[in-house]
Structure 1
């Protein structure tokens, strides 16, 4: 097995990262884990400054700030990537056949050993990961692993209440607190920022109207023309604050609503 292998771990769970590093070094003492990166932002920054100073990447799919695919969309990766995932989906098999491998959580020493053998085979046969091929495979894996938030477990009056995302008319932020307004008229506080919600909610159902509102398409009553090319959204239940879509975002909103 290849000696002096320099590996990057992209993993936000410290225990998982430590376990993976232990298994890797147990299999091959010549392996060096040169860095463990915990987020998209940290990974992009490090990989930008250390373009080729590694041989192989083990990357979790879900990180604290999103899906790791965002890393590989932002910067060119010329080295093989082995994805660590909790999703056992038929489409992932395509990655194995096309040169990008995967490790299914929870993994063991045998699974890690198998994927390192595959890496060695790729190197021995001179197979290189082309960026265009990598991007196509990332799109395929992303399509089967993207899971949008379907419900919220909300603290309310000393209880935990499950509320379906589809039954929330809009999300609104004020004074650094985010509120969810249900179709029933009930108002809840949620422990998410609008940025997190924008990422986790189904974009076919929810739209970020402006800095304060994310709205559910099924809650929209009417759309009116406002000053300077902006749009005024009337929503149900009624909002005390006006929901205004900027001129720059109006066309995108109209296309989203008309699909």
Structure 2
């Protein structure tokens, strides 16, 4: 099978290509692409690949722009260091979402998944489009409640009541819409993987619910500052790198 790798970091690309050679000896990496523009130029003319491994953050923009500007009919495996693009990935022909650094086991699992989905598609689906819609729907169906600790009690807290999660003094806390706070036994990384699209990891310290945000404004350092509807002593900032995807999320895209 022919594979295309879209990755602008040399070491990351080399590592992925070498891993693919070990995991899938019969696969051929027909092209490595490094930007949105050269990916569009190549993919418009070359249709022989069966699978794409694509980084998300490229030097000239997000790789989603590629798939918005040209029609891609083959599945894509998205590779990134960030969790927040997951739903958007599954809406863009994504069949898997790998977090960097990539492990050989993760790539092997992805290839098994690709072949399994291909077999099921051939027996039950006329094309990949139904599969993509199902994956996107599954990725948005997240936990409805979370267990929190209060004194000697363990309480199920509905996600609809949650305003934000944050770290303070190495503890993970959840703050509700009415200002109550509880300890959470999960890390922010674990929460980030399980929460639905109403939540966004704005920085290392905070995950916020869209419903709690009044507005965002730019600071002098060109970072976004959030104004939220509840009292919170810590200033919530969104980095410049995340501002574009954050605003897309805030607008419901």
Q: TM-score, normalised by structure 2?
A: 0.52
- Number of aligned residues: 162
Native 8 Å contact 2:223 2:243 kept in 1: yes
Is the alpha carbon distance of 1:52 and 1:139 closer, same or farther for their aligned partners in structure 2, counting shifts above 3 Å?
Answer: farther
- Structure 1 position 77 matched with structure 2 position 101: no
User: Is the Cα–Cα contact under 8 Å of residues 80 and 100 in structure 1 kept in the other structure?
Assistant: no
Q: How many angstroms apart in 2 are the aligned matches of 1:100 and 1:179?
A: 45
Q: Match for 2:174 among 171, 180, 197?
A: 180
For 1:230 and 1:138, the matched residues in 2 are separated by 37
Alignment of 1:1-259 (within 5 A): 49-52=22-25, 69-70=96-97, 77=111, 81-82=115-116, 96=120, 98-99=122-123, 139-146=132-139, 147-203=141-197, 205-259=198-252
Distance 1:219 1:80 in 2: 38
Per-residue deviation, 1:226: 0.8
Q: Give structure 2 stretches of 5+ with no counterpart.
A: 1-17, 27-85, 87-94, 99-104
How far apart in 1 are the matches of 2:21 and 2:97?
A: 14
Measured after TM superposition, the shift of residue 165 of structure 1 is 1.1
* TM-score, structure 1 normalization: 0.51
Aligned equivalents of 2:154 and 2:199: distance in 1?
Answer: 24
Partners of 2:154 and 2:113 in 1: how far apart?
A: 46
**Residues in 2 aligned to 1:194 and 1:97: alpha-carbon distance in whole angstroms:** 35
- Residues 182 and 48 from structure 1, CA distance in 2 versus in 1: closer, same or farther, beyond 3 angstroms? farther
> SS where residue 195 of structure 1 aligns?
helix
Q: Distance in 2 between matches of 1:221 and 1:206?
A: 15
Deviations 1:47-67 (A, max 9, x none): 7633249xxxxxxxxxxxx9x
Deviations 1:176-198 (A, max 9, x none): 32110011211011122212222
For 2:11, the equivalent position in structure 1 comes to none
User: Following TM superposition, by how much is the alpha carbon of 1:143 offset from its aligned partner in structure 2, in angstroms?
Assistant: 3.2
* Alignment CA distance shift 1:80-1:238 (3 Å): closer
Greater Rg by CA: 1
| Cα distance in 1 between the residues matched to 2:133 and 2:106 | 13
